[in-house]
Each structure stands twice: as C-alpha cells, then as structure tokens.
Amino acid sequence: MSGKKVELFTDGACSGNPGPGGWGAILRFDGVEKELSGGEALTTNNRMEMTAAIKGLEALKRSCRVDIYTDSKYLQQGVSEWMKGWKAKGWPERIKNQDLWKELDVLIQKHDVHFHWVKGHAGHPENERADVLATGAIAAFR
C-alpha cells in the first residue's frame, strides 16, 4: 500500500424510501478536494449511502490509506462488523444490497480502508456538504 492518505466523506439521500435518490462524496488528498455525485430514479437511502462510498473508492487511482466518514451506521457497521461473517457463510441470499456489499468488498481489498461514523445533520462541515451533493443529485430524477 502507498503511504498516501485520503479522506472520503460520503452521504446518501432518498426522496421517499424507495424513491429517487442521490449520493455525494468528497475526496480530500494533500489539501485538494474533489466532489462527486450522482443518483438513481428508484432506489433506497441505504443503497445511496453505499454507492457514495463505492464511487469515492472507484475514483482513487492507486492503493492508499482511506479514512471514510459516513453518517450511515448501516454502511459503517456492515463493513466493520457484518461483512466478515457474510463472507465466511458464502454470502447468504437473505443479505439486502448484496450486490453493493460485494462491490465494496472488492474495492476495500485494494486499499487500507477505515470507516468512521459521524452524526448526520449535526454540523460536521464535510458531512453537510456531502448531504448537499446527495440531495442535489435527486433533482435530476424527479
């Protein structure tokens, strides 16, 4: 792994659950930031939270240490606590969003990834910006 350290701030949003959704991600490396966003016409909030992390990790050009900050306990706990057991059991069919969990698993193997939970809508500047990106992306699908 490279010694490069990247911060990734992510958020997902949904208008209705399910409904049109958006995701936002902010990558920070060496004082430089890049904002990413997108969405889907029919999705769930959890899928958008996961997609934000996936898209952020996909944007990285080389292996590095990545600190991911999310307000989604579902995402943070899924990766930090549940995924190991799912993999050991051969990815049981009952797992919701299994396609995205598997995608995250592959991406996480390429980097030294650490997930951090932050309280949503509590004034965390980057989380608030990621939320604006995510909610703004929904407009294209209304």
Show which residues are catalytic: 11-12, 49, 71, 121, 131
Q: Which two tokens stand for residue 85?
A: 């057991």
Q: Please return the burial class of 53, using the count of CB atoms within 10 Å of its CB with bins 0-12, 13-18 and 19+.
A: buried
Q: Is the dihedral of CA 83, 86, 87, 91 positive or negative?
A: negative
CA distance linking residue 70 with residue 20, whole number of Å: 20
Q: Given phi > 0 = left and psi -120 to 50 = alpha, else beta, which region is 20?
A: beta
Helix 45-58 and helix 98-109: axis angle, to 10°? 20
CA distance linking residue 48 with residue 5, whole number of Å: 24
